[in-house]
Amino acid sequence: LAKTTQPISMDSYEGQEVNITCSHNNIATNDYITWYQQFPSQGPRFIIQGYKTKVTNEVASLFIPADRKSSTLSLPRVSLSDTAVYYCLVGGALSGGYNKLIFGAGTRLAVHP
Amino acid sequence: AAGVIQSPRHLIKEKRETATLKCYPIPRHDTVYWYQQGPGQDPQFLISFYEKMQSDKGSIPDRFSAQQFSDYHSELNMSSLELGDSALYFCASSLEGEVKAGPYEQYFGPGTRLTVT
C-alpha cells in the first residue's frame, strides 16, 4: 500500500468549503484512492473513492490530478457535524478478503460556528 | 437499510480473563474485517474472512483467534486479556464478490468497547 501524507489538523467555519489534500507519491498504477470519515467512538464511514480525474457523490468530491500523486477531498459548505477525523487510503483492488484498510494519521477537521 | 451489528457494545473484563466479540455483517456481504482502535490511536487491521475462510491477517496477537460461521457472522475470541487490550473493536463487512462493488468500500459496525481492569 502506498504511503500517504495529509495535514494533521484543519480548522474551518460553518458554511465554508473545506479541501483536504493527501499526498501519495508512490501510488501504483492499479491503486485506488479512498477516503473515510470517523467521529469519536464510532466506526469509520466510507466517504468516496476514485481512480482518476474527479468523482462526486452526495457527500463530497474527490479531485485527482493526472499524475495521481496527490488527491483532494472537497467538502462543500461544512457544518458542525462534519467535525471528525478524515483518512486518506491508497491501495490496489484485490479480491478474496485482502482489501484491508491501513489507516495512517488522518486529518482532524474542526468546524467552528 | 441493515447495518453491521456488533455485540456486546460494552464489555468489562479482568486481566487474564477471556472475551468473545460478535459481528453480524450486512446481509449478502461476503467479507468481514476486524479492526482494533486503542485510545487516541488509528484503527489497526487484525484479521479478515472471505466466504467463511480466513483470508488475511494483520498484527493480531496469538492470544486472539477468530472465525466466520456458516451464517456469515464472525466471532473474535480473546484470551489471557491484558490491560493493553483495552480498545474499541470494530467489525466491517463488504461485498467483494461483485465487480460493481468498489474496493476498500467497507461498512463498519458501532464497535465493542472492551475495558480490561
Instruction: For residues A5-16, give the mean pLDDT.
Output: 97
CB B95 within 8 A of CB B101: yes
* A9-112 CATH choice from 2.60.40.10, 3.90.550.10, 2.60.120.260, 2.30.30.60: 2.60.40.10
Q: Within its chain, how far is the Cα of B105 from the centroid?
A: 16
The reported pLDDT for the residue numbered B97 is: 63
Q: For chain A, give the mean pLDDT.
A: 93
Give the residue with greater pLDDT, A104 vs B8: B8
Annotated domain spans of chain A: 9-112
In B, what residues contact A, Cβ < 8 A?
4, 31, 33, 35, 42-45, 48-51, 53, 55-56, 58, 88, 90, 92, 94, 96, 102-111, 113
Instruction: For residues A23-37, give the mean pLDDT.
Output: 92
Tens-digit pLDDT profile for chain B (117 aa)? 789 999 999 999 999 999 999 999 999 898 999 999 999 999 999 999 999 999 999 989 999 999 999 999 999 999 999 999 999 999 999 987 655 456 788 999 999 999 999
The reported pLDDT for the residue numbered A1 is: 60
Say whether A42 and B31 touch across the interface (CB within 8 A): no
Q: Within its chain, how far is the Cα of B93 from the centroid?
A: 9
pLDDT digits (tens, 9 = 90+) for A52-91: 989 999 999 999 999 999 999 999 999 999 999 999 999 8
pLDDT band at A18 (very low <50, low <70, confident <90, very high): very high
Share of chain A above pLDDT 90, in %: 81
d(CA A47, CA A58): 9
The reported pLDDT for the residue numbered A97 is: 73
Structural domains of chain B sorted by starting position, each given as residue range(s) with its CATH number in brackets: 5-116 (2.60.40.10)
Torsion sign over Cα A37, A106, B32, B22: negative
CB A27 within 8 A of CB A69: yes
The reported pLDDT for the residue numbered A60 is: 96
Residue A12's H or E segment, with its range, is strand A9-13
CB B52 within 8 A of CB B59: no
Which of A36, A88, A90, A101 is the mutation pick for testing B, counting most B CBs within 10 A? A101
